[in-house]
Amino acid sequence: MTAPAPPQTPAEARRLVTAFLADHDPRGGDDLEFLRARFDAGLARVSWPHGLGGLGASSALDGPVDDAFAAAGAPDNRPHSNIIGLGMAAPTLLAFGTPDQQHRWLRPLWTHEDVWCQLFSEPGAGSDLAAVATSAVRDGDDWVVNGQKVWTSLAHESRWALLVARTDPKAPKHRGLTYFVCDMDAPGVDVRPLRQITGETEFNEVFLDDVRVPDDQRIGEVGAGWRVTQGTLMNERVAIGGATPPREGGPIGTLAQHWREHPEDRTAGLHDEVLRLWVDAEALRLTSARLTQQLLAGQPGPEGSGAKLAYASLAQRTSAAELGVLGGEALRYDDWTARRPVVGDLAERTPGFRFLRAKANSIEGGTSEVLRNIIAERVLGLPGEPRADRDTPWEDLPR
């Protein structure tokens, strides 16, 4: 069967959806089979390549396709519960994976058959990710991995993980890394929950004890893992800070709604602060729309660091202002049970939860301090900080 030509306009994209729905009932069948058929028809992400869930169309048409399926009541692939897979693993596989790897992993990733996580940060290598100590030693057709990772979202639900490990300790830290896909069900993988300030165990620490990773699960060349890692991180920052909500979506929405509905809580000082937050949220929303197009086109750049930095600050300021508007009522937060997180819209949670959870925004996906350095050097062109360890073998660095 000949694949359809890439649509050129939103109208053409919607016609492809209409034709697909004529042969596939969006409401009366098996959701997984529907999603598989949608992927095979090239309508998962029409901007992805032919044969890999797409039609090679413009990334600007992905939104109209998703909207058309949603309007028809079609099942979605629960994107909020596989954000690492969709936002980081898929772009990495498309940019750096072999054809066999792309065909192996992209379809079950997009259909939500496989959830993905990210084994990057370590207790001694978070902001300085290139200092990771987890080792991978070649043994025939496999690599034997030993080490510890931390702050791993969704590790307790994941089938696969993006893994960066050190394969040459004698090379400088940025040049001795290799990138893998790790099977989270493999012997030697131990996932343990980490409880955070909200009471939830959203993150995990992961111990890797003689975990065998086949060489055909290596992404990129041996020793070239830092290049692949940078591609993943740029997609991550856009995925966190560059998502495009509707106007008054996200944290500003609940604050604005309460402000309108409860005039008794307004004060002069808070009025100015809420107005500033609304303007900043709208500016970030419009900027994020441009960054989302770069991401979907496979062209993430350092601008994503700016979006993520702005999002973290805005979320924290907005949640603090919400507590100010609510006064003493905002202090009601009594759900401290250790539990796995509830995936959903933060607007459905309590103001106290939003305030506490926002504290992590300036750490996860790259700390705000590191992102400021990236913006200074790669966007503004300012001189970089001295890096005495650039050419020192990793094994000789103090740890």
| 254 and 306 in a common domain | yes
* 344: containing domain: 229-379
| 233 and 195 in a common domain | no
Would 398 be classed as within a structural domain? no
CATH code of 172's domain:
2.40.110.10
Q: What is the pLDDT of residue 52?
A: 97
Would 109 be classed as within a structural domain? no
CATH code of 251's domain:
1.20.140.10
Would 150 be classed as within a structural domain? yes
| 71 and 128 in a common domain | no
| 250 and 204 in a common domain | no
Query: What does the radius of gyration of the chain's CA atoms come to, in whole angstroms?
Result: 22
Q: What is the pLDDT of residue 138?
A: 98
Does residue 166 contact residue 394 with C-beta atoms inside 8 Å?
A: yes
pTM (2 decimals)?
A: 0.82
Does residue 1 contact residue 42 with C-beta atoms inside 8 Å?
A: no
| 270 and 234 in a common domain | yes
Q: What is the pLDDT of residue 242?
A: 47
Would 399 be classed as within a structural domain? no
| 324 and 285 in a common domain | yes
| 134 and 242 in a common domain | no
Q: What is the pLDDT of residue 398?
A: 82
| 212 and 122 in a common domain | yes
| 267 and 214 in a common domain | no
CA 53, CA 111: separation in Å to the nearest integer?
A: 10
| Residue in 202, 205, 236, 303 annotated catalytic | 236
Would 70 be classed as within a structural domain? yes
Does residue 23 contact residue 41 with C-beta atoms inside 8 Å?
A: no
| 244 and 353 in a common domain | yes
Q: What is the pLDDT of residue 399?
A: 76
| 132 and 48 in a common domain | no
Range list of H helices, the chain: 10-23, 31-40, 62-71, 83-84, 90-96, 99-110, 225-241, 251-261, 268-296, 303-326, 351-358, 368-374
Residue 97 CA: distances (Å) to CA of 54, 80, 119, 217? 16, 24, 17, 9
Burial code (b: 16+ CB inside 10 Å, e: under 16) for 195-213 equals ebebbbbbbbbbebeebbb
Would 101 be classed as within a structural domain? no
Residue type, 103: H
- DSSP annotation of 3 reads P
Asked about 261 being catalytic, the answer comes back as no
Residue 359 burial (CB count, 10 A):
15
Of 165, 195, 222, the position where a domain reaches its end is: 222
Strands 116-119, 135-139: pairing is unpaired
Q: Could you tell me the two tokens for 223?
A: 């020793």
| 129 and 72 in a common domain | no
Residue 222 makes CB contacts below 8 A (sequence gap 6+) with 167, 178
The number of domains in the chain is 3
List the Cα angle 35/241/246 in 5-degree steps: 65
Would 357 be classed as within a structural domain? yes
pLDDT by residue for the chain (399 residues), tens only, comes to 566 789 999 999 999 999 999 999 998 789 999 999 999 999 999 999 999 999 999 888 998 999 999 999 999 999 988 989 998 999 999 999 999 999 999 999 999 999 999 999 999 887 788 999 999 999 999 999 999 999 998 999 999 999 999 999 999 999 999 999 999 999 999 999 998 888 888 889 999 999 999 999 999 999 999 999 988 887 765 555 545 567 887 788 888 888 888 887 777 678 888 999 999 999 888 887 776 666 555 555 666 777 888 889 999 999 999 888 887 777 776 665 656 666 556 667 788 888 888 988 888 777 888 888 888 887 888 988 787 777 899 998 887
Q: Which of 361, 371, 366 is nearest to 196 (CA)?
A: 361
Of 191, 222, 253, the position where a domain reaches its end is: 222
Of 222, 252, 275, the position where a domain reaches its end is: 222
Would 384 be classed as within a structural domain? no
